[in-house]
Amino acid sequence: MNAIAAVNLTKKYGDFVANDNINLSIAKGEITAIVGENGAGKTTLMNMFYGLQRPTCGEIYVNDQKVNFSTPLDAINCGLGMVHQHFKLVPSLTIFENILLGAEINQRVVLKGRFEIHLPFIDRRRERKAVDRLIHDYKFELDPDERVENISIGAKQRVEILKMLYRNVDILIFDEPTAVLTPQEVDELLVNFKELKKQGKTIILITHKLREVMEVSDRVIVIKKGRVVGSKPTNQTSPEEIAAMMVGREVMLQVNKEKKPALGNKVAYRVSGLSTNNYSGKKVLNNISFEIREGEILGVAGVEGNGQSELVKVLSGLMVSTEGKVQLYDEDITNKWPNELRKSGVGIIPEDRYAQGLCKEMSLSDNLIAGYHSDGKFCRYGILDKKNARKNRDTLLEKYDIRVADPEGAVSQLSGGNAQKVIIAREFDSDPKVLIASQPTRGVDIGSIEFIHNKLLELRRLNKAILLVSSELSEIMGLSDRIIVMYKGKIVGEVEGDKADSSRLGLLMAGITK
Amino acid sequence: MKNKNVILSNIYSVLLPVIIALFIGGIIIAAIGENPFLTYQVMIQKSLFSAKGILKTLHFAAPLILTGLAIAITFKANIFNMGVEGAAVLGAFFTGVVGFSLKGVNPVLHVTLCLLTGMLVGIIFTLIPAVLKAYFKVNEMVVTLMLNYVVAEVVKFLAQGIFKDPASGYVSTYAIAESAMFKKLFNSDLTLFFFIALLVFGILYVIFKKSKLGFEITAIGKNPEFAEAAGMNVAKKIVVIMLISGAVSGLAGAGFLMSEKYRFTLDFSGSPGLGWDGMLIALLGNHSPIGVFVASVFYAALKTGSEYIGLFTNVPKDIVGVIQGILILCLSVKFVSRNTGLMGRWTQWLGKIRSKRENAMSVDGREGEQG
Amino acid sequence: MNLVDNILYDMLYHSTPILLAVLGGLFAHKANVLNIGLEGMMLTGAFSSALVVMLTGSLWLGLVISVLLTLVLGLVFSFLSVTLKSNFIITGFGINLFAAALSAFVLKFMKLANINVSSVVDVASLKIHIPLLADIPILGSILSGHTAITYAGYILIIAAGIVLYHTKFGVYVRVVGENEEAAKSVGINANAVKYAAVLIGAALCALAGMELSVERLALFTNNMTAGRGFIAIAAIYCGRGEPLKCALYALLFGLAKSLAINLALFAGPISGLFEIVPYLTIVVVLFMVSVIQNRNNNVRGFKLE
């Protein structure tokens, strides 16, 4: 029996076909991995299964019954639940309130033992009890009274799973569940998967990480450009074959890094004793010190939310440090404003592409000069030289292989990979002395990842200093000469690039330093 | 081709609200038993269908161009500066003071002094919300609204007290000296002030479209986080933008006083006021200088025409305010983005019907093949 | 009554319309819809209640119709801002301008300068003296002798707190405001919740308006709300959307007004200038609250609001 089957499922957005005649079936009680590149159409497919989007045409069957979901609630009522990549939790509510959100238990008054009256007030005591039982049944480690804003990412994910289990679903879809976990948390999650499978649940795992696919799944379905391009039992395939199916050609799964010790080189960038507080006064950076030499890539690893964002913000002038010093060669650049930093020769690839890196609604040529728009090249007597900006755009589009339908149009038309290349082009072309790169390949297709990695290595060869912050552990290990690990705003360890292995880094990322 | 489409859809997205607002306004006029067509006809005929009417319309458009631009420059940067009204009123008041206190001055000098006073007062007034917003993150909208009430009370106090003209029957300051008045040109209402407004329009056009500041205003308005990361020093720019807005607002008040009112009265700014008219105009003009210009003329025509409807119908001229309110309501919808706005929905809906039909056709086609 | 008694009595008196608007705006604020239209809704409440009372002579009919009309305005606001996803700040201003213009238009059409209902409504008789409370020496003169809507306003502070924090609807309002996606993912109809939040605000604004015109003065004049809707928004900002805190700020702003009026009696020639005290107080309070809230802020720049 099939848990889910799709017949000729198609989803179009205007002229763009996100899913093109998808036919697939997912067997009950199995773990099925659906893999594909960013933008291949996996998420669209799952959103249609889950009632978040309606198919343009085609049919969906759940447990061999034809279904037509218009909201996620319909899907949940049909026994289909989804754990999203970006958790759908309410930070200010407690764990049990989040689990029962939308299914609250109201207070009741029983009159004369017969008439039951539902009051509009929530019965917190009974809600708690129900969640306690659930946590016990599935052997999860959670305190139901904790507020969600105070718990770890792994715990948040467990809350999401419980939210679905409370609603008695037997098909669970996981969208990129391991993207933000430490290696140890990933292992734990994979154990949970096996436990859920044992209890008869069907699991669909959307991912682009092949290690998990090989380890836990029964079948792999590969999607490329909105079409199913392969479906095989996991034990009859290999990571290389899956990767080739995903991209359509052979891929190097490992970055080729030429070894060139930077040990004797001059120190280009030095951070000493850097600290800062967040909005509520909590110390989010605590005495951070490191140095980067010319021709060196320093990787910063850590579970998200351990101070990396704040570190990048302070180093790029978007946040003020309360203590400490930042030096570029002999120049003190502590707490300088972003325009001053750029003038000194600091290139910045910010963490959130569309928040800090680009302005979606502005044109390509405007985006490609942003940050350097005061340079004499583009601006004279306060008047912008738009012609020169356009010339600059044409050069950079060519040089950095940015594919764009309408060069006069806005940045919003670009795919994730090409948008990221716009930032790369802008920052690399200004010839920085040091580059701060935060999550440079997040949400980017494999082709662009290769391109960006090669560009970073090229910069390293030119003897520039690079700070690489990434939550993608393989990226950090593949590119860095040295790796520092952040935990709760502190540096908890440093590892040589070629001596790094994921289990050692994973322990450091969890704050275990022994 | 594409550019033409964009322009067309821009025009539609302004025309549609105007038509809806006039339509609902017409229903209200009909509801009080009057003829909406006659009312609108009077409005347009008197303001646009004679040379004199047109010149009068342009005369009343002058302060509106300025307040419209003053609002547009802040709205474009996503700053809700409602202090344009306060700056215009306060600027006008002190312009009046300078206008009647100095006597026997060379007219050119006197006019210049008066205009500078208006601008300076506008700048000083706007400095408060600007600094509070930029350096202390105090919500500028509430602050400017509160300060507007402060201005209203202060000028009321001063106009009733030390600056009151005892010869006047109602609360009013002394009339400004002849040397501070703009002279009527071409035997019409038009004065030099209109050309000053045109000059400011030209300067702001360059700022909006060509300058580095204009580029930064757009970036700050669309994505302030990005603007900061790109080294635009947003706080400093907010102060600059607000002060430009304050100067232009003060100038609007000063010019209106010197070209039309000649003395400060409590209803100087009208109802709902020059600043509020400016808000409508900025929205109607889609924050672009040329749009603001066209919108000011349109709105000035409505206002000029409304002065005459009382002669021909029983419709109070306050109908213009009602239409203004509805117009702002309609414009708020398209203002955010084309995709979520009314027009966007309309085209999306059309697209949906079209693609449904295509689907149906393609399904038919497939069946045909199978058969 | 001595001066202090007067000031405190007037504080409660002047706080009422602000308080009602605060409580009304609170629900919308919690649901992440900033309702700038409070001012216009209050004005509509004041105008329509006075008009209906004048035409029919019935206070109850005035209450019902003004609430209904304000709800219509609330529906317009929520249709534009929630369903059509307009810029709700602009929509709110549109509501305000429309309400002000329409009332002025109708007054002009009826050839009235204002609506005076003192022949129908005896303002003094609307003040309720609470039996036991009124006899307590000082407290009695402060707390007793207010109008029905005033008492309702203060009771509603507690009611709003209970609804927001202990009922399903209140939780949904907060969830929709905090993370709309989370709400949608478990099948909560976010738009319906927003509509409800805005409409609650509209109804309370109608009460505030009626208190202002009919109950307090038996008189409606153009633009008589004089920025109270925006003062309510300032109170919501300062109190960060917590019912009790916001109510306290409403009281503070009421106190500023009461001080200005009571002290102006002694100010002689500059008494007219005392009118600016309430407005300046709000600017100063907003400034101080912002400084305190941002004292730990190390982040540069601004976010899209």
- C226's enclosing H/E stretch is none
Mutate: best of B226, B236, B240, partner A, most A CBs <10 A? B226
Q: Is the dihedral of CA B63, B64, B67, B69 positive or negative?
A: negative
Task: Give the CA count within 13 Å in the CB-facing half-sphere of C25.
Answer: 33
**Separation of alpha carbons C191 and A373, rounded Å:** 42
Tell me the shortest Cα–Cα distance from B303 to chain C, in angstroms: 14
On whether the CB atoms of residues A21 and A227 are closer than 8 A, the answer is: yes
For range C93-104, the mean pLDDT: 91
Question: Do A14 and B351 make contact, defined as CB atoms within 8 angstroms?
Answer: yes
> What amino acid is encoded at A164 in this protein?
M
Q: Is the pLDDT of residue C165 over 50?
A: yes
Q: In chain B, where are the structural domains located?
A: 35-313
Yes or no, beta carbons of C296 and A72 under 8 Å apart = no
| Chain C residues in contact with B285 (beta carbon < 8 A) | none
Question: Is A75 within 8 Å of A50 (Cβ atoms)?
Answer: yes
CB contact under 8 A, C300 and A320: yes
Q: Are A360 and A408 in contact (CB under 8 A)?
A: no
Chain A CB contacts of C169 under 8 Å are: 120
C97 to chain B: closest CA residue: B325
**Is the minimum CB–CB distance between B160 and chain C shorter than 8 Å?**
yes
Side-chain-side CA neighbours of A460 within 13 Å: the count stands at 24
Residues from chain C that touch A317, judged by Cβ atoms under 8 A, are 300
Write out the DSSP string of B53-93.
HHHHHHHHHHHHHHHHHHHHHHHHTT----THHHHHHHHHH
Task: Identify the CATH number of the domain defined by range A2-79+169-247.
Answer: 3.40.50.300
Interface test with C, best of B239, B266, B320, B322 (most C CBs within 10 A): B322
- Residue A163, chain C, CB below 8 Å: the answer is yes
| pLDDT tens-digit map of C102-142 | 998 898 888 888 888 888 777 777 777 777 776 777 777 77
**Residue B137's closest chain C neighbor by CA?**
C290
Residue B320's nearest CA partner among B276, B254, B261, B262 is B276
In angstroms, how far is the first alpha carbon of chain B from the final one?
42
**Distance from B83 to chain A by nearest Cα, in Å?**
27
C51 near C115, Cβ under 8 Å?
Answer: yes
Residue among A422, A512, A40, A434 at smallest CA distance from A246:
A40
Residue spans per domain, chain A? 2-79+169-247, 90-152, 267-357+433-509
- Between CA B172 and CA B166 the distance in angstroms is 8
> What is residue A328's three-state secondary structure?
strand
Token couple for A106? 């109201």
- CB of B120 closer than 8 Å to CB of B250: yes
Q: Closest-CA residue in chain C for B131?
A: C287
Find the closest chain A residue to B350 by CA distance. Answer: A14
With CA atoms as reference, the chain C residue closest to A319 would be C299
Chain B interface, Cβ < 8 Å to A: 2, 206, 210-216, 218-219, 222-223, 225-233, 351, 355, 359, 363
Question: In Å, how far is C76's CA from the nearest CA of chain B?
Answer: 9
Quote ipTM for the complex: 0.86
- Asked whether the beta carbons of B289 and B205 are under 8 A apart, the reply is yes
What DSSP state is assigned to residue A234? G
The residue behind tokens 């308005």 is B221
Cβ distance B359 to A57 less than 8 Å, yes or no, reads yes
The verdict on a CB contact (< 8 Å) between A279 and C182 is: no
What residue of B is the nearest CA neighbor of A371?
Answer: B230
Cis peptide before A440 (omega within 30 of 0): no
**Whether B363 and A373 lie within 8 Å, measured CB to CB:** no
For C39, name the nearest residue in chain B, comparing CA atoms only.
B145
CB nearest to A102's CB, from C179, C186, C297 = C186
Please list, residue by residue across B44-76, b when 16 or more beta carbons sit within 10 angstroms of its beta carbon and e when fewer do.
eebbeeeeebbbbbbbbbbbbbbbbbbbbbbbb
Residue B356, pLDDT score: 46
Closest CB to B146: pick one of C97, C108, C227: C227
Backbone angles phi, psi at A18, to 5 degrees: -80, -40
Is C119 strand, coil or helix?
coil
Q: Which of residues 229-258 of B touch C (CB under 8 A)?
A: 229, 234-235, 238
Distance from CA of B182 to the nearest CA of C (A): 31
- Residue C77 corresponds to which tokens in the numbers above? 């606001």
Option in C87, C109, C287 nearest B132 (CB)? C287
- Chain C residues closer than 8 Å to A103 by CB: 186
Q: Inter-chain contact C80–B332, Cβ cutoff 8 Å?
A: yes
Q: Can you give A165-221 as a three-state secondary structure string?
A: HHCCCCEEEEECCCCCCCHHHHHHHHHHHHHHHHCCCEEEEEECCHHHHHHHCCEEE
Chain A residues lying within 8 Å of C181, measured CB to CB: 86, 88
Measured CA to CA, the distance from residue A372 to residue A340 in angstroms comes to 11
**Low pLDDT (below 70) residues in chain A:** 249-263, 514
* Cβ-based neighbour number of residue C51 at 10 Å: 24
Taking an 8 Å cut-off on Cβ atoms, the answer to whether C97 and B328 are in contact is yes
* Nearest alpha-carbon partner for B222 in A358, C236, A175, A60: A358
- Any chain C CB within 8 A of the CB of B136? yes
- Give just the sign of the alpha carbon dihedral A428, A432, A435, A438: negative
Tell me if C156 sits within 8 A of C203, measured CB to CB.
no
Contact A57 B215 (CB under 8 A): no
Q: Which chains touch A (3 or more CB pairs under 8 A)?
A: B, C
CA distance A394 to A380: 21
Euclidean distance between CA atoms C138 and A120, whole angstroms: 39
CB contact under 8 A, C175 and A93: yes
Q: Which of B2, B142, B165 is nearest to B82 (CA)?
A: B142
Count other C-beta atoms under 10 Å from residue B139's C-beta: 18
Alpha-carbon distances, residue A354 vs A367, C45, C305 (angstroms): 11, 44, 16
Specify whether the CB–CB gap between A328 and A434 falls below 8 A.
Answer: yes
A90 to C181: CB separation less than 8 angstroms, yes or no: no
Partners of residue B5 in chain A, C-beta under 8 Å: none
Chains that touch C (3 or more CB pairs under 8 A): A, B
Q: Would the CA dihedral through A111, A117, A121, A125 be positive or negative?
A: positive
pLDDT of residue B206: 92
Nearest residue on chain B to A376, judged by CA atoms? B212
Encode pLDDT of C179-226 as tens digits.
Answer: 888 888 888 888 999 999 999 999 999 999 998 888 888 888 888 888
Q: How far apart are CA B317 and CA B339, in angstroms?
A: 36
Which pLDDT value is given to residue A164?
Answer: 87
Q: Give the CATH number of domain B35-313.
A: 1.10.3470
The pLDDT assigned to A258 comes to 61
Asked if A371's CB is within 8 angstroms of B206's CB, the reply is: no
Within C33-172, strands assigned E span: 115-116, 127-128, 146-147
**Is A340 close to B231, i.e. CB distance below 8 A?**
yes
Residue numbers in B near A341 (CB within 8 A) = 231
* N-to-C CA span, chain C: 47
Hey, is the C-beta of B267 within 8 angstroms of any chain C C-beta? no
Q: Which residues of chain B register pLDDT less than 50?
A: 1-2, 335-371
Q: What CA–CA distance (Å, rounded) separates A207 from C73?
A: 48
- Beta carbons of A353 and A441 less than 8 angstroms apart: no
> A373 vs B215: CB contact, 8 Å cut-off?
yes
**What backbone torsions phi and psi does residue A94 show, to the nearest 5 degrees?**
-80, 170
Question: At C218, phi and psi to the nearest 5?
Answer: 55, 35
Q: What is the pLDDT of residue B357?
A: 45
B328 touches chain C (CB under 8 A): yes
Amino acid at B39: T
A376 to chain B, minimum CA–CA distance in Å? 12
Residue-wise pLDDT tens digits, C21-58 = 999 899 999 998 888 899 999 999 999 999 999 888 88
Residue whose C-alpha is closest to residue C20's, from C220, C246, C192, C196: C246
C contact test, residue of A95, A106, A108, A122 with most C CBs within 10 A: A122
* Cα A370 to Cα A364: distance, rounded to the nearest angstrom: 10
Contact (CB<8Å) B211/A350: no
Q: How many C-beta atoms lie closer than 10 Å to residue C22's C-beta?
A: 36
Q: What CATH number does the domain located at A267-357+433-509 have? A: 3.40.50.300
Q: How many angstroms separate the CA atoms of B94 and B114, rounded? A: 8
Inter-chain Cβ pairs, chain A and chain C, closer than 8 A: 81
Cβ C238 vs Cβ C285: under 8 Å: yes
pLDDT of residue A261: 63
